[in-house]
Structure 1
Amino acid sequence: MRISGTTKVFGVLGWPVAHSLSPVFQSIAMEKAGEDAVYVPFPCPPERVAEAARGLHAAGVAGLNLTVPHKEAALALAESADSDAREIGAANTWIRTDTGWHAANTDWIGLVRAIRRWDRAGGWDALLFGAGGAARAAAKALAELGARTVWITNRTLTRAEQLVEDAARLWPQTHWSVVPWEAGAVERAAETARWVINATALGLSGEAFPFAVPGEGFAMDLVYRPDGRTPFVEAAERAGRRATDGLWMLVEQGLVSLQRWTGHAVSADEVIAEMQALLGRSGI
C-alpha cells in the first residue's frame, strides 16, 4: 500500500475497537475497488464521541463506520440521516457532506444478506437478544425477512419493552413480544425459534453466554472472533443448532457502507474468501 497526499482516510469509531476486523476486510475491499484509501480504527469513549465527530470531519476523514457503543449516538449527532437510520433509531455509517455527517444504517442489510446465505425460508419465529442499536437493526432485518413472531429479551427489561413497542408500530406484519431475562423464559422461547440472534456485546470479552438456546434451526452472533468461536456460537452448537459468528454480517454491511462512500460495489464472496484464508477459517 502506497500512501500519498491524496489518499482518503476512512475508519471505524468504537469503544473498544482494537478487536475490530473492519480495517482488515475494508483494506482488502478498497484495494479491489481501486481506491487510493486507508481504513483505520479510531478508539473513542462514549463521552467524547461528539467531539470526535467534529474533529474527524474537520480533519477531512472521508467516511466512518460506527460500532459499539456509538450507534444510537451516531444518529443523534449526524446533520442528516436516511430513512432506514431514522426508522431503526441507530446508525452504523457516517457519509461525509460539506457541512457534517449524513447517517445511514447498513447493519440491517448486512444481516438480511447473511441470513439468506443460510436460509431462504420465511414465516419462521425468532429470538433476539439485545435492545440497543444493533438489535434495532436486527429487528428490521427479521421483519424484512418475513419473520412471523420475534421474541426480544434484554438484561434491562424496559429497553426490550421499548423496542417491542417501536417494532410493533414500524413493522406490524410481525408479532413482537418481550421475554424476561430469565433462563426458563428464554429457553421456552428458543424452543419455538428457527433463528436465534445475539445482538448484545456478551462474549466480546470472552465471558460465557448465560443461556442455553435449545431448539432446531440456526443461530447467528453479531459478535465475531478471528476463529469464529464466540461463547454464543458454542452455546448454540451445544444445543444442536447450526451457528456462526458475525463475520458474514460484518463484511456484508461494510461493503454496503463502502459503496455508499465511493460508489464501488465489491463482491462479498471474494472478500470473505480472502478473510477466511487470512484467519484460517472455512465455510460460512
Structure 2
Amino acid sequence: MARVTSGYGAALGRRARLVAVAAEPEDLTPRSLRGLAGVADELEVRADLVGDPDPSWLRRNFRGQLTYSLRSARHGGHSAAGPVERRTRLLRAADHYELVDLEAMDDIQPELLAAVPARQRRVSWHTSGHAGTAEGRCRAELREASGRLQERFAAMAAVPAALYLLVPPAGGQYGSAAPLLLTGLGRTDVTAFASGPVGMWTRVLAPWLGAPVVFGRVGAPGEDGMPSVGRLLADYGLPALPPLSGLFGIAGRAPGRSLSPRLHNAALRELRLPALYLPFQVDRFSRFWQWGFDFASLGGMPLRGLTVTAPHKQSALLVADVAAPEALECGAANLLWLDEGRWRAATTDAVGALRALALGGVDPSGRTTAVIGCGGAGRAVAWALREAGAGVTLVNRGIAHGLEASSQLGLPYVPLSRFSPAGYDLLVHATPLVEREPFPVAAADGDAVVLEMAYRDPPTALTHATRARGLVGIDGWQVLFVEACEQFRLMTGRSMPETLSLRSICFGLAEQAAGHGLTVSGGSTRTHRVGREAS
C-alpha cells in the first residue's frame, strides 16, 4: 500500500494530534473504533497487548492513521518475541501502517531502517522501574537530569524519524525532567513525559510544551498513567490547545480519582482564562513543596494554586505565608493560592458543608451533631457547625487523632467503636470510607439529617443506606460543587459561570464521551466511577 507522510514536522498550532491507544482486545471492537470518529486522529495498536489485527479490517472501521507498536519487556511492554519474530512482525507492519514504533536503540538495525523510511518511523525510548511520587528533586538535580535526557535524545535523533518519544518513569533518574526536555528542545517532532500515575500531569501538559501528539487509551486508563481518550476530552479539553500562562492543580495521594480537574477546567475554558488544572500525586507534601518541580521554567506557566486532599491538609497550612482564621482554628487547609507573591491558605470544607446544608433547607443551629472523621475536612466542618450554633461531638476511629482534634477545637470526642447515631439530629460523615456504612444508619433517629462529604457514582454506601431508610440526606456531589466554586473564586478571582451546572460538568461530558463509545474515568470497568478523599 502507499505509505502516508505523518506530517509531525508541521507547526503545532492550537491543536494536538490525538492518538487513541488500543491496549486491550475490546478496544478493537467495531463500536469502539467507530466511536473514535471525529475524536482521534490516529490509532496506535499495542501489538504486545492485543496481537496483530487485520490492517484491512482496521481501516474499514477507523479512518485515521495507524501506528504499530510491539513494546518489549525491556521498554516496559509485554512482548516476549525473540529477535527473529520481532523483526518479522515489524517488517510486516511497515507494509500496512503509517507509523512503526522502533525502540531505541534495539531496533536501529540496517534491515529495519531500509524497510521503514524516516517518514514512517517513530523512535521511542521507554524505561521501566520505580514510579516514585510527585515529590520531585531539587532544581540543581532537575537541571542535571534534563541535560542527561537531552543527551539521550541526541543519540536517538541521529536516526531520522517522523516522531521521537521519550518516556522515563516518574521519580526515576529522568522522570521529573521530561517536561523540561520539551521546553529546552523547542522541536515539534518530540514528545516526552513521565510514566505511571504520578506522571499523568506531564502527559496532559506535554502538548502545550511543544509535543505534537497526546495519547489516550480507547478503554479504561492503565497502570502506565495514560488517561482514557474520553477523559482527555472531558477533563482537559484536549486536543484543543488554548493559550496557557499558569497552572493550578490538586495534590493528594490519589488525585486521578477526583473530578476537580473536570470542574475547574470546564470553568477555565468557559471564561477563556489561560490556565490548566492538573493532578499531582504526592506522598510527602513538605518535600513536594520544598523540592518540587520548577514550574516557572515551563515556558512561563508557573503554579498559581493547589487544592489539597488528605492526608496533606495540615502540611498545606504549614507552608502558607498567610492563613485564613478558620484554617488556623482547625489546623488544616485544603487550598493554597498565590496572591501578590504570597501563598495564602484556607479551608473550603467549612463553607462546602454549610452551603450544602442551606441548599438542602437544613439550619444547623441548635442541632445535636456528630461529625465522624477528625481529619482536615472533619475538623473544618466541626468548627463551622459550632460557629453556626450546633452542638458538636467529634467521632473518630483513631483515639489519639480524635483526642488531638478534641483538644484543638474544644469539643467532646467519642471513639467510633463506642458511637451510636441515636439521639443526633445531624450526622456528618467526613472520612474517605465509601464502600460501607461508617455507622449503622438503621440506628439513627427517624428525623435525622445525614450529610455525606465524600462523593461517588454509584452512591456511597452511606448515601444508599440513608435513602433506603428514608432519611433526609445530602450527598457529597453538592458539597463538591460548592467547594469547587469557592476554590475557583479564591484562586482566580472569578466566579464559576452560572451556565455550568454540576450535572452538565460531571455527567454531560461523560455522556457525550459515552456516545462515542469512550470511557471517561478510571477503574477496571467502563462505568463512570469516581470518588474523592474527604479527610
The alignment's TM-score, normalised by the length of structure 2, stands at 0.46
Task: Give the deviation of 1:249 after TM superposition.
Answer: 1.3
Aligned position for 1:221: 452
Distance in 2 (alpha carbons) for counterparts of 1:143 and 1:98: 33
Distance in 2 (alpha carbons) for counterparts of 1:141 and 1:197: 12
SS state at 1:191 partner: coil
Aligned position for 1:132: 375
Task: Say if 1:5 and 1:273 are closer, same or farther in 2 by CA, change over 3 A.
Answer: closer
- Whether 2:241 is the aligned partner of 1:30: answer no
Select 2:286's aligned residue among 36, 45, 50: 50
Aligned position for 1:102: 344
Distance in 1 (alpha carbons) for counterparts of 2:402 and 2:498: 32
1:191-210 superposed matches below 5 A: 191-203=422-434, 206=435, 208-210=436-438
Distance in 1 (alpha carbons) for counterparts of 2:271 and 2:457: 24
Aligned position for 1:236: 466
Task: Give the deviation of 1:6 after TM superposition.
Answer: 3.4
1:54-93 superposed matches below 5 A: 54=290, 55-56=292-293, 58-59=295-296, 60-93=302-335
Distance in 1 (alpha carbons) for counterparts of 2:468 and 2:503: 27
Select 1:180's aligned residue among 399, 412, 415: 415
SS state at 1:24 partner: helix
Task: Say if 1:11 and 1:135 are closer, same or farther in 2 by CA, change over 3 A.
Answer: same
Distance in 2 (alpha carbons) for counterparts of 1:130 and 1:87: 17
Task: Give the deviation of 1:199 after TM superposition.
Answer: 0.8
Deviations 1:29-58 (A, max 9, x none): 22333312211111111x3x2232242565
Task: Say if 1:31 and 1:146 are closer, same or farther in 2 by CA, change over 3 A.
Answer: farther
SS state at 2:248 partner: strand
Select 1:12's aligned residue among 231, 246, 250: 250
Q: Which amino acid aligns with 2:286?
A: A
Aligned position for 1:159: 401
Task: Give the deviation of 1:248 after TM superposition.
Answer: 1.4
Task: Say if 1:34 and 1:6 are closer, same or farther in 2 by CA, change over 3 A.
Answer: closer
**Structure 1 gaps, min length 5:** 169-175
SS state at 1:226 partner: coil
Task: Say if 1:94 and 1:260 are closer, same or farther in 2 by CA, change over 3 A.
Answer: same
Distance in 1 (alpha carbons) for counterparts of 2:394 and 2:246: 40
Deviations 1:247-281 (A, max 9, x none): 21122112112111211112578431413543679
Higher relative contact order (CA 8 A, sep 6+): 1
- Whether 2:453 is the aligned partner of 1:211: answer no
Residue pair 2:396, 2:402 contacting (<8 A) in 1 also: yes
Distance in 1 (alpha carbons) for counterparts of 2:349 and 2:269: 22
Residue pair 1:29, 1:255 contacting (<8 A) in 2 also: no
Distance in 1 (alpha carbons) for counterparts of 2:387 and 2:438: 29
SS state at 2:257 partner: coil
Q: Which amino acid aligns with 2:439?
A: F
Task: Give the deviation of 1:25 after TM superposition.
Answer: 1.1
Distance in 2 (alpha carbons) for counterparts of 1:24 and 1:271: 12
**Root-mean-square deviation over aligned CA pairs:** 2.4
Aligned position for 1:40: 278
Moved more, 21-30 or 94-103: 94-103
Distance in 1 (alpha carbons) for counterparts of 2:474 and 2:293: 34
SS state at 2:428 partner: strand
Aligned position for 1:265: 495
SS state at 1:63 partner: strand
Deviations 1:189-240 (A, max 9, x none): x22222111111212xx3x22420311222122111133x112212333443
Identity rate, percent:
27
Which structure has the greater CA radius of gyration?
2
SS state at 1:18 partner: helix
Q: Which amino acid aligns with 1:252?
A: V
Q: Which amino acid aligns with 1:199?
A: A
**How many residue pairs were aligned?**
263
Aligned position for 2:366: 123
Distance in 2 (alpha carbons) for counterparts of 1:137 and 1:268: 27
Residue pair 1:110, 1:249 contacting (<8 A) in 2 also: yes
Task: Say if 1:37 and 1:99 are closer, same or farther in 2 by CA, change over 3 A.
Answer: closer
